Amino acid sequence: MKQKTQKEKFLELTCYEEFDKRREEFRGMPLDDEIGKHMDVVFGRPKNPLPKDGWHVDYPILVGEIPILDEMMELHADGVDFMESDEYFQSGKYEKCKIIHSYTKEEWYSYSRWGDSHEEPYVFYKNVDGKKIYCKPD
């Protein structure tokens, strides 16, 4: 019997509690429109629905006019850290920076985060063997 993909397993979820118990199974899962629509079921209804043209959103989750979720998906990042802009940040030594806010991809997508805006610079991260590995878009 064929083993189910991450996506197939995610699409079977019916509520956040199920997701929360199994969240590690879905870490790093690439997002697409079908998964995005199913997130409405798992995480609850959005304050503003996603536009029909896909993942680009013109809501207040923009920082410097760049949609955080779009970038996160493009990089296959697991989350985003908003940091102080200091000499460590400027030199790319992100692991030494003071983190002001940190969100997983799921938390950022969850609708309690919509409408938040941050003035701080940010860096995306991937979880690799339990450690944050920072990555920035090209």
Q: Which two tokens stand for residue 79?
A: 């989350």
Q: CA angle 62-67-69, nearest 5°?
A: 120
Render pLDDT for 40-86 as a digit per residue (tens, 0 to 9).
777 665 444 444 444 333 333 333 334 677 778 778 888 888 888 88
20-39 pLDDT per residue, tens = 788 788 877 877 778 877 87
- Band (pLDDT 50/70/90 cuts) for residue 9 is very high
pLDDT at 50: 43
Identify the pLDDT of residue 53: 40
Are residues 135 and 123 in contact, defined by beta-carbon separation less than 8 angstroms? yes
